[in-house]
Chain A
């Protein structure tokens, strides 16, 4: 017995269901070769551009797939063709996204500097030298407004989800209909609504009005996601709670909501992503302010989309570069937010193990 345990095992763990490194490399090389051949064909034919390469490369790749896997039978060939088509579809879908990202970075990177993130435009003209002034006012303004909008809309959204899935009262259908209708409201209408109800009465634009306009847009997103997430809670868990003598309220707040905590975080994040880049509603509610300030009740407040818009309207080269730089900051901030949310919910899942 001891001889067996002291000797290292000769059996190595294998994953025979996976492609070997050599196979994977040969497939990768094939794709590169196919694209290269397609590019050559495009050069000598009337076709042109990336679209032309794609138009030649995709059928070529399919043909190569059939030739390569055909000898293993029709199932293998069909599998290979499907893999090639799905891979092509993935690349085609990625193209616009990568193109946007590339354009934003290419045109905006010059504007980015430490100063750009920490200074504001209080004493700087939009077309002044790059490296002076900054968009701290917009970062802070967007942060404050999104925070207030989240504080308003997440509780309301989750509670409407709870009403639809847990309470199932007489107005369930009506509430669901209104939530769905609200998610179709054009964002400028949300701005007009807050303008006509709040801004006119206060006779002043304010960050708070902007936040409320964003909240109007955020509520349906949060509510619908929360409803979908709450529907996933198995009925057995609710019954288990009731069988322990729980009231409906403690059942909802101590069992159902904690069970889907990470899903609810996702619903809030989706809501934030929905509104963080909104421009139209803020035009009529928060407007723009050139100094950095954090008080949403103290007159107009800047935000990243509005500041981008106003830089762009200026038209001068430096101002337009600043506009791209501001968009880049907005993209990065939203990406960070997504990563944070994923980390938070992944953490939850791991700690449960």
Chain B
């Protein structure tokens, strides 16, 4: 860890140790500081490279179960890269590399015996651009994950309706489930992608700027969905929209690259990050003074 960085030592203590997410300065010792027994998703000293380029340096974050965490920061600070580390999508980029640990329920998902496919079933993802499968109908899109991962379900129609209801799309598509996914509007397609991600019942849902291509109405509906979903799963959302981060997230982590690799400047309760941040750069960013 580069010692000249001013980021060292910006550990945040949010109120209530049991529910706090922390940014910890050195990965190895951090587990002692974390509340015991609370399972969830955690990174320890995560680094990511594209070829020789170090994109993220030493990110240690903890995402408690059934919470929403917003990843905020200017473009190019490594938020999306970090997100893709969490379900092993990073490794699809040729020349990419990783160091550190990502623990899902205490198990390192990068351990050699772990099957990446199985991890991606547990850690679902919604992408920035809606990407429904054009060759499939609306219903088939929602159930695609089951077919792809060969999961057997007793009542497909129940699951189909449940996922579409939870993604806030059921009313709009219930009469044309056999229609092509390409016939939906952009906002509907994105909610279809959310429904598709829900169908395999992930423990964690990663969302990479899910509303960046949506109109305000669709955005509102997706945000309602996020809040609702967080009762049963851990959600991590990358967003450039400060209001959105404030509305939906319980915790926030502020990423910044400052010319070098992206690092976490500050992380903690969303209310603290927005109203009383420790670092002046966080205050500047959330108040819109840069970025």
Contact = CB atoms under 8 A, between A and B. Distances in A.
A245 B133 contact: no
B172 to A, nearest CB: 17
A318 B2 CA distance: 92
B244 to A, nearest CB: 22
A242 B92 contact: yes
Given A234-B131, A237-B133, A250 B197 contact: no
Interface stretch (B115-123, B159-167, B281-289): B115-123
Interface in B157-202: 180, 182-183, 193, 196-197, 200
A243 B124 contact: yes
Interface string B113-142: 000011011001101010111111000000
Contact of B117 (A236, A247, A254, A353): A247
Nearest to B125: A243
A241 interface: yes
Among A237, A244, A247, A259, which residue has the most Cβ atoms of chain B within 10 A? A244
Interface residues of B, number: 30
A261 interface: yes
Contacts of B127: 236, 239-240, 243
Interface in A219-234: 234
A240 B180 contact: no
Contacts of A285: none
A236 B290 CA distance: 31
Contact of B180 (A237, A243, A245, A353): A353
Contact of B135 (A242, A261, A353): A261
A251 interface: yes
Contact of A245 (B118, B136, B182, B193): B118
B257 interface: no
Nearest to A249: B148
Nearest to B119: A245
Contacts of B52: none
B148 A245 contact: yes
B213 interface: no
Contact of A250 (B125, B132, B147): B147
B148 A246 contact: yes
B131 A244 contact: no
A242 B89 contact: yes
B149 interface: yes
Nearest to A247: B117
B144 interface: yes
Nearest to B196: A244
A203 interface: no
A352 B148 CA distance: 21
B131 A254 contact: no
B134 A241 contact: no
A241 B182 CA distance: 17
B134 A245 contact: no
Given A259-B133, A261-B135, A352-B180, A245 B147 contact: no
Nearest to A237: B131
B92 A245 contact: no
Contacts of B136: 258
B87 interface: yes
Contacts of B152: none
B133 A240 contact: yes
A279 B41 CA distance: 66
Contact of B197 (A244, A247, A255, A351): A244
Contacts of B145: 244-246
B182 A243 contact: no
Given A250-B150, A251-B148, A259-B133, A244 B180 contact: no
Contacts of B120: 242-246
Nearest to B132: A240
Interface in B70-89: 87, 89
Contacts of A240: 127, 131-133, 193, 196
Nearest to A262: B135
B149 A244 contact: yes
B149 A259 contact: no
Contacts of B131: 234, 236-237, 239-240
B129 A245 contact: no
Contacts of B200: 244-245
Contact of B149 (A239, A246, A255): A246
Contacts of A241: 133, 144, 148
A243 B147 contact: no
A158 B150 CA distance: 24
Interface of B: 87, 89, 92, 117-118, 120-121, 124-125, 127, 129, 131-136, 144-145, 147-150, 180, 182-183, 193, 196-197, 200
Top-8 shortest CB links A-B: A245-B121, A246-B148, A244-B145, A243-B125, A258-B135, A236-B131, A352-B180, A245-B149
14 contacts: A237-B133, A239-B89, A239-B92, A239-B131, A240-B193, A241-B148, A243-B127, A244-B144, A244-B148, A245-B117, A246-B117, A247-B148, A254-B148, A255-B148
